Structure 1
Amino acid sequence: MFSKEEHSRLRAEFWTQFGQLMKPFKSEEGKRINWTNYKTGVKNVFFKMNADKKKCGIGIYLTHKDPEIQQLIFEQFEEMKTYLHSILEEEWEWELHTKNDLRQTISKIYIEKEGLNMFKLDDQADIYSFLKPRILKLDEFWRDTKEVFVDLTT
């Protein structure tokens, strides 16, 4: 069992190492990018990666406070579902109006891999190899579709 400080340090080291692994990769637009804190450029639309002692995952998170607007954005993603899955080369989970850890209503499109522990050195390479291709493919999808969401949310 780790102390709170040790837990925070190990988590920071994990994501710093992932950032270093991703440093050579540029966005689909040819720009340098902070992959661990991906900026979509669209308010209330986030690409997030997570890892803990039980699993890792990556997803698109919609956090608009108005549930109707959040649903509208989600429905726009649904219209692009076939295209998204063709780029990802797999199907992800789709959840409209679920609750996050803070009990806020969000919607998410995500995939998780169970049985991996970010605090075990033996699992870290597997987590990185799970997250890396998926964030790169999300970037490819976003290059082609971002403007639709910019227009939708402005």
Structure 2
Amino acid sequence: MYTREQASQLRQQFWTTFGQYLSPQLSAEGWKVNWLNYKTGVKDVYFRMNADNKRGYIAIELTHPDTELQQLVFEQFEEHKTMLHETLGEEWEWVLHASDSTGRVVSRIYKEIAPVNVFDKEDWPALISFLKPRIIALDAFWSDAKYSFEG
């Protein structure tokens, strides 16, 4: 077991390492991007990556507090489902109205890898190999699809 501080340091080390692998990668539109804190430019639509002692995942997360509006945005993504899956080269899980770790209602489109442990450096290559191509593919999808989500 790790102390809270050790766990925090390992997590930070992983994300720093991951960020270094992605830093030379330009966006689909040729711009420099903060891949770890990807800005979709659309309120309440986030691209999230996370890893813990059991799994890693990447997700499109919809967080609008009004669940009806959240569902409308989810349905907009469903209209782009074929394009999303073709860009990703795989199918992802689609979940409307689940609770996040803080208890708020969110909707997610996600893919996960398990078992992996962010606290085991031997698992880092698998996590990086899982996350990197997917965030790049999400960016490619978003460069085409984002305009239909604006406004």
- CA drift of 1:121 comes to 1.2
Task: Report the equivalent of 1:87.
Answer: 87
Letter in 2 for 1:96: L
1:29 deviates by: 1.1
* Residues 87-138 of structure 1: per-residue CA shift (max 9 Å, x gap): 1111000000110011100000001011111111111000000000000000
CA RMSD of aligned residues (A): 0.6
Match in the other structure for 2:16: 16
Residue 102 (structure 2) pairs with residue 102 (structure 1): yes
Show the counterpart of 2:36: 36
Question: How many matched pairs?
Answer: 151
Give identity over the alignment, percent. Answer: 53
Q: Could you list the per-position Cα deviations for residues 64-96 of structure 1 after superposition, in whole angstroms to 9, with x for gaps in the alignment?
A: 000010000000000010110011111000000
* Partner AA of 1:124 in structure 2: W
Structure 2, unpaired ranges of 5+: none
Matched, 1:70 2:91: no
CA distance in 2, matches of 1:3, 1:70: 38
Partner AA of 1:103 in structure 2: G
Is 2:117 the partner of 1:117? yes
- Runs of 4+ in structure 1 displaced over 6 angstroms? none
Structure 1 length normalisation: TM-score? 0.97
How far residue 145 of structure 1 moved from its aligned partner, in angstroms, is: 0.6
Aligned to 2:134: 134
